[in-house]
Structure 1
Amino acid sequence: MKRNFQGQAFALLVTAGLIFGNTACTKSERVETETTVENTGTAVKNESEEAYTNFKNWIDEKERDTAYVYDSERDWNEVIANREDAYNERVAAVDKNAKYYDDARRAEIEEMKTRYSTNWQTRRAAYASYGKSDSLRPVYLTVPDNASDLNALTPANIRAAYENFVAKVQENKESYTNADWQVVDAMWTDLDARKNAIQEQLSAKDKLEIGKAKTKYQAMKAASKTGNTAERVGSNIKDGAQTGAEKTSDAAKEGGSKVGNAAKKVGSETKDLYKKAEDKVDGTKDRK
Structure 2
Amino acid sequence: MKSIQILSGVVLIALGFTSCKDEKQEQAKKTIDSYVSYVDSVKNVAADDLKADWTAVEAEYDRRAENARMALADLKDNTAETEKINETKIKYEEFKNEMAATLSPPGSKQQLRNALFGEGKIGDDMDFIWVNAQNIHSVYQQFVHTVENNKDSYSREDWDEIKLMYEALDSRKNTVEKEGLSAEDNRKIAGLKIKFAPMYTVNRIGAKSEENKEAKK
TM, length-normalised to structure 2: 0.41
What TM-score, normalized to structure 1?
Answer: 0.32
Between Structure 1 and Structure 2, whose CA radius of gyration is higher? 1
